[in-house]
Amino acid sequence: MKPKHYAILGGGFVGGLVVGILAGRAREKNRVRELVAAYADRFGAPVTWSLAFADRESHFNPEARGDFDWPHRECRAGAGCYAHDVLENPIYAENPYRDERDIWISYGVFQLLSPYQLAHAIEARLLPPDASPEELLDLDVNLTLGVQNVLALYRETDGDFIEARLRAAGCHDCGRYEIIVEHAIETAARWSIDTSGSVHAA
């Protein structure tokens, strides 16, 4: 009987541990959601749009990393690349991390693409000139830049959410156009954002 009892106790412990971990993740997600809304309000960005962008980009995960292929993309006209946007960018001339190719990816809640967003952070004095791209994981920096990006896209597109998502992805005639539009429509529906007036609406 003892082995059976031990198995039951062990299963209960593991189950409780899993529930605790999931509950902790849910609390963290809710905390980040509240922060995104607060930062959006602080900088005058549309709150619902900011929440929708953060949801689409990372599901409110402050530790998210992505675009791992970006540092290895070929340089092409009209498309960014590591050699041009990092090695040839004067703002990174003295940056000690400029030669660490694999860390020039996207970071945080808003998945900030570091070759561009780290430069913005340095220019805005949110981070020092010798900052690592990984410092874009700093929640204050990430949310500050993220909601300001959303505000700029909102204004540039006259409130066209689908167009804003395409611009954020740098894609209009790229091979991912249809999937980005589909994801934008799904995200807009989840956050009750009207896309009926979009130039990309079916």
The DSSP code sequence of 133-173 is GGGGGSHHHHHHHHHHHHHHHHHHTTT-HHHHHHHHHT-SS
For residue 198, being part of any structural domain is answered with no
- For 200, the token pair is 């990309």
- Beta strands of the chain (E only): which ranges? 65-66, 106-107, 112-113
Range(s) of the domain holding residue 22: 2-156
Would residue 187 count as lying in a domain? no
167: in domain: no
Whole-structure pTM value:
0.86
Q: Is residue 140 part of a domain?
A: yes
55, 54, 53: which is closest to 154 by C-alpha? 53
Provide the number of structural domains found in the chain: 1
d(CA 129, CA 94): 8
Spans in the chain with pLDDT lower than 70? 1-22, 78, 202
Question: Do residues 127 and 141 lie in contact, with contact meaning Cβ atoms separated by under 8 Å?
Answer: yes
HSE-CB for 119 with a 13 A CA cutoff? 14
Write out the H or E segment, with its range, that includes residue 57.
Answer: helix 47-58
Question: Do strands 65-66 and 112-113 pair parallel, antiparallel, or not at all (unpaired)?
Answer: unpaired
Q: Quick check: is 127 in a domain? A: yes
CA-nearest of 155, 193, 202, 196 to 56 is 193
Distances in Å between the Cα of 41 and the Cα atoms of 78, 143, 168 are: 34, 12, 21
Query: pLDDT tens, 87-102?
Result: 999 999 999 999 999 9
List residues bridging with 66 in a β-sheet.
Answer: 106
Give the pLDDT score at 103: 98
Closest to 66 measured CA to CA, from 100, 33, 136, 113:
113
How many alpha carbons lie under 13 Å from residue 139 in its C-beta half-sphere? 14
pLDDT on residue 150: 98
Radius of gyration of the CA atoms of the chain, in A? 20
- Report yes or no on 178 lying in a domain: no
Q: Which CATH number goes with the domain that contains 14?
A: 1.10.530
Residue 37, domain member (yes or no): yes
Distance of alpha carbon 58 from its chain centroid, rounded? 5
Please classify residue 143 by burial: count the beta carbons closer than 10 Å to its beta carbon, then call 0-12 exposed, 13-18 middle and 19+ buried.
Answer: buried
Give residue 6's pLDDT. Answer: 46
**Neighbouring-strand partners of residue 52:** none
Per-residue pLDDT tens over the stretch 46-89: 999 999 999 999 999 999 999 999 999 988 876 789 999 999 99
195 occurs within a structural domain: no
